[in-house]
A and B are shown apart, each in its own frame.
Chain A
Amino acid sequence: MKNPPFNYHRPASVDEALALLTEHGDEAKVLAGGQSLLPIMALRLGRPEHVIDIGAIDELKSISVGGGITIGAMVRHAEAEKSAEVAEQTPLITAALPYVGHRAIRNRGTVVGSIAHADGAAEMPAVCLAIGATMHIASSTQTRQVAAADFFQGFFTTSIEANELLTAVHFPAQSTSAGSTVVEISRRHSDYAMCGLACMIDAPDGTIVSAALSFFGVASAAVRATEAEAALVGKAPNNETFAAAATIVSNTLAPDDDIHATAAYRRHIAGVLTRRGLAEATSQIGIRA
């Protein structure tokens, strides 16, 4: 459990980091909080020749408000978790972060690192899909913005190219008539979820105008339950509506077996979480207004 040798770089600016990425490309990995990358290297499941530590780049360390929230690449989970602005603008993130590992992991791991890592069982990629986050991606030649829906491409895969850095992620502010929450079921406190749901429901006048059901832990990447979402729109946010959505969720998700849970169990609790999540999200409506 000792990593293979690598060249370590600690650039002081984004430009410097991008220059290094241009130079080393496929042979390089960005190091943010290291909570996923370092175990992978220690187990020798990954062996980048170059590790580019972005921890010294001050420009990546801020959370900014404007049309929502923009979280820089070196903002730790713990900072975002306790940020009043994040809670105000995007309560779904505040709801999600306590589920991310243990406190010690959140003290080092980063929100953007978690998104770049794109673990299908992780909370933040599902939150990105639910809210419709925008990825700010830079290389030394260009910057581009990618919608969350196009960004996640499957098992630990995103649209970030080898020479690119995810510099920040922008999350639009939650509608004042919406409510949201994260619910999940894990084996132990703080484990990755066997199934989890980031959900949002917008019901301005007692009728659902939009809903997001974004699941994690049930597929190689986070997934939206689009059929169930469509079935919610136009309905009153009540238990009957939620139960109907839950049935659709259980019937449409296609999770796998693993040693912690069977597919049947995951489908079942996805339905349970749909009911619980939607009820809780509904109870949040108006709380921030």
Chain B
Amino acid sequence: MTDIPDRQTSGLGFVGQRVKRVEDERFLIGEGQFVADLNPKGVLHAAFLRSPFAHATLNSIDVSTAAALPGVARVFTAAELNAVTNSFPPLFMIEGLYTPLYKCMSEDKVRHIGDPVALVLAESRYIAEDALELIEVEYHELQATGTIDQALAPGREQLWDRADGNILGDISADFGDVATIFADADRVITRTFNCPRQTNQPMETRGSVVIVDPATGHLEIHNTSQAPHFLKWAVAGLLVNDGAFRNLSRFARNKDRRKAFSAAAKAFVSTNKQKLLEQDPAGQKSQMKKDMSFLRAQARMAMGLLASNDYPTVKAGDIGGAFGSKGSVSREDIALAAAARQLGTSVQWIEDRVENLLDGGQAREERFTVSLAVDNDGTLKGMKVDAVLDGGAYASFPVSAAVTVLLWKLYMPGPYDFKAFELNAKIVATNKGKVVPYRGPWANETWMRERMLDVVAKELDISAADIRLKNVIREENMPAAFLTGPTLDETMSVAKTLDRALEMVDFDQLEQDKAAAEARGHRLGLGISSYHEAAPGPPNFFSSAQPGSDMFLHEDGRAEIQADGRIVMYTSQSPHGQSHQTTYKQVAADEFGVAMEDIEIVWGDTDRTQFSFLGTGASRGGPLGAGVMRMTARELRNQVVKVAADMLEAAKEDIEIVNGNIHVVGVPTRGTTYADVAAKVASDQAVSTGPVFKEEMKYEGVGNGGWSVATHIAWVDIDLETGQVEIPRYLVVEDCGPIINPGIVDGQVRGGVAQGIGAVFYERHHYDDNANLLSTTYMDYLIPTAMEIPKIEIEHMETLTKGENDARGVGEGGMIGAPAALTNAVSDALGVDVLEQHLPPYRLLELAGIISS
């Protein structure tokens, strides 16, 4: 690793440098503060009884023996907890989608292996698990649905009464004149691609510690949440222990709350007038057609929020990864909070790995039948896709699988100049764990498209490079908007990364290497893939997917200087491995002209940080999170400079700050400090603690643009005798704009590529045809280790258009690009069409025709 230049001697700022992560020390010496480290005194330990059947009705449950076990404080049945909580209502509605309502526990019917049916609270997790074995449940097994084909088969047992044919969503979109384009093209090429299930596997599982204040009953929830504010509202809204009528009358009597509510509602409506007008009621109608009761559930949730003055405090400390799986509110989170409130005692649930594999979050089981209309010279003209997404049993809350479909709608034609595109997507219910966003939730559109480009190139006898070069959208002839709606600008620089990546390949050498591999009984192939992602995307990105949906997507900033001169920056992000603490300190330290350790970053505590619907997600931490950090820091610095200028009897334009020394340019010896300026203001205001400077702002980013792009090229070497794979070279040329910390960007890219390598060669979440989960431990769900991950070469291009805040997100891209590059390389090596994403050694030998399938 290159040495970090010393800022004092180099005169450089921190931004752009490979500064070491400030998080590392505490993590490496075991001083991180994860939920399991909290262990409050006297806390009760939770264990959930989970269904051993994929699909069954519950006839009876008897918890009496379990409840009598010494050390057990309480056993709750599903019915008991469901009675004091509301259904998870769909927040997210789109035309053609139906989201079944569900409760935190399953009392009549279980819908996947691991579905929670009872909750034990005991002195230790050991005793709690002992008690689980004493609960007697009588199940009546039902036909289970384990595959997309089964879900779509007529006459299949339904998971949900109102989801006819197990179809939860049937969503279509089209752009351009599809019929004419397809009729006029030289040919239409069609293939079907399959991707099996994967699971986001963070190192730290889910967990929640609910601390009850004995005096007030206030809940303080320490949770592994990517979105603590959303969790806080969800818990407040879903815990109604008094029933609707009592809540209503409490609301009616609660004058302050009512006032506050109507003021907030007015403010919201006036700031979001335009976006509210854009809202399309079709989604609500779709849901209503299937199930009116969601209105009641929404009303109950709202009532839950309005009836109570005491919302829980949610705190997210250090989090050991999530990859999207901790953005949703877990059923367990609600059950646990309800149990704590019922008992008046602190409780905790630290999910174990088996539970996490059962229902911690799963993804990517999708099928695509794609037809490309092309001309014989390789011009891409039209794309038609029939897609099916295996949605599992319960919709994750609030971001469900439907969001993936919406993003497909925008991304599928990729960075290429298609003239027409049509998508018909179905979401089917199966008896499997819940589907959550997983690092680049839409990513299979890139896999499917980039794989299909190679299929087409082969059929037209042109090279994989040429078909991309011919069709990629270039800056010179860039349209104002993609065919699918979002606007674009020079940050959509896929062509630049493609050109550069191809420049870095010696194709003559490749031919020699292929021959040498063949001589050893191996096959070598090269695969290319390119993609663009909204990180955060242009202002019309989310509204192109769903009108008005960007209403909650601004990033609020807040910063203070305390009376003692400490600089405290608040973020509504909830970092879980992305190194926000380091990058935000870099950005803020440069603005303030101080050392990184002079900046305190506060995150994850809903009592202290500003509201955010999303928390950390959707590649926003760099562009919006760091962007608002910079702007609030700058405002605050200016406030300080104004006071300092008075103190120094100078004009504020003449003030500079170097290493914390606030002085007139050229006169560093007569300077002052943040501490002195803060002390002066504090004494003027006659205060001794608390903030003396404050700044708050809403931030929506730099405007148009915001695309993050890359081209990946993979070399894959396959031993034709054994199917074992090596990746002799892996190249990423990426453009996420100006880089705040190259070390961290490299780490994000490498981690994403590693998960892509996992998806293709190692990771498959394996359910059998009866929806039994076979990969329930790490003996069977194989995550690649350092031994399986090759050196990954990364080349950065930093297209800068909007100035200093033009950083774009980079966390998801590695995972988006890798599966296509790798499967394309396999296809090139073996000379066959690869139509599936997961390729273990046996499958490679089947594809090579060496063994029979």
Task: List the interface of chain A (C-beta within 8 A of B).
Answer: 1-5, 43-44, 185, 187-192, 194, 259-262, 264-265, 268-269, 272
Contact = CB atoms under 8 A, between A and B. Distances in A.
A192 B779 CA distance: 9
A194 B851 CA distance: 15
Contacts of A4: 126, 129-130, 133
A188 B788 contact: yes
Given A5-B130, A262-B853, A269-B723, 19 more contacts: A1-B352, A2-B126, A3-B126, A4-B129, A4-B130, A44-B129, A185-B841, A187-B762, A187-B841, A188-B784, A188-B787, A188-B788, A191-B782, A194-B841, A260-B842, A261-B840, A261-B841, A264-B842, A265-B845
Closest 10 CB pairs of A and B: A265-B842, A189-B787, A1-B352, A2-B126, A264-B851, A272-B721, A259-B766, A261-B842, A268-B851, A2-B129
Contact of B842 (A1, A5, A188, A262): A262
Contacts of B840: 187, 260-261
Contacts of A188: 762, 782, 784-785, 787-788
Contacts of B724: 185
Nearest to A3: B126
Q: For chain B, which range describes its interface: under 10, 10 to 19, 20 to 34, or 35 or more residues?
A: 35 or more
Given A1-B353, A188-B785, A265-B845, A259 B764 contact: yes
A239 to B, nearest CB: 13
B130 A259 contact: no
B852 A264 contact: yes
B851 A265 contact: yes
A255 to B, nearest CB: 12
Interface string B834-850: 00000011100110001
A3 B354 CA distance: 14
A280 B611 CA distance: 65
A191 B850 CA distance: 24
Given A5-B130, A262-B853, A269-B722, A187 B782 contact: yes
B769 to A, nearest CB: 13
24 contacts: A1-B352, A2-B124, A3-B126, A4-B126, A4-B130, A43-B354, A43-B777, A185-B722, A185-B841, A187-B762, A188-B782, A188-B785, A188-B788, A190-B785, A191-B779, A259-B780, A261-B842, A264-B842, A264-B851, A264-B852, A265-B846, A268-B850, A268-B851, A269-B723
A189 to B, nearest CB: 4
Nearest to B780: A259
A262 B851 CA distance: 10
A120 B4 CA distance: 52
A262 B844 CA distance: 12
Nearest to B351: A1
Chain B binding site: helix, strand, loop or mixed by DSSP? Answer: loop
B801 interface: no
Nearest to A2: B126
B448 to A, nearest CB: 24
B651 interface: no
A189 B788 contact: yes
Contacts of A269: 721-723
Nearest to B352: A1
Interface in B743-791: 762, 764, 766, 774-775, 777, 779-780, 782, 784-785, 787-788
A47 to B, nearest CB: 10
B470 to A, nearest CB: 39
A261 B782 CA distance: 13
B125 interface: yes
B575 to A, nearest CB: 27
A245 to B, nearest CB: 16
B811 to A, nearest CB: 25
A45 B432 CA distance: 23
B46 to A, nearest CB: 12
Nearest to A268: B851
Contacts of A2: 124-126, 129
Nearest to A264: B851
Interface in B116-142: 124-126, 129-130, 133
A152 B779 CA distance: 24
A236 to B, nearest CB: 23
Contacts of B722: 185, 269, 272
A184 B126 CA distance: 38
A152 to B, nearest CB: 21
Contacts of A1: 352-354
Contacts of B354: 1, 43
A5 B510 CA distance: 60
A38 to B, nearest CB: 13
A44 to B, nearest CB: 7
A192 B777 CA distance: 14
A8 to B, nearest CB: 14
B132 to A, nearest CB: 9
Given A259-B780, A264-B852, A269-B722, A190 B787 contact: yes
A20 B594 CA distance: 68
Contacts of B853: 262, 264
